[in-house]
Amino acid sequence: MVRDLPEEVKPDEFEMQLAVKLDGKVGAKIVELNSGAQLQVTLRWKRR
């Protein structure tokens, strides 16, 4: 993706963060499962 950009528009920095959350709960005859994910992408350009 970023590597395919033309050189004049490429960011100086590229950062990607991935967070995954898994929860589980077991009670009397009840099972509950929860999950979630978050992806954060940051591109930075420095003035030249």
Q: Does residue 46 or residue 30 have the better pLDDT?
A: 46
2-36 as b/e, with b when 16 or more CB fall inside 10 Å?
A: eeeeeeeeeeeeeeeeeeeeeeeeeeeeeeeeeee
Tell me, what's the pLDDT at 36? 95
Parse the chain into domains and list their residue ranges: 2-44
Is the pLDDT assigned to residue 47 strictly greater than 80? Answer: no
Tell me, what's the pLDDT at 44? 92
Is the pLDDT assigned to residue 48 strictly greater than 80? Answer: no
pLDDT tens-place string over residues 5-36: 888 888 899 999 999 999 888 888 778 889 99
Tell me, what's the pLDDT at 8? 80
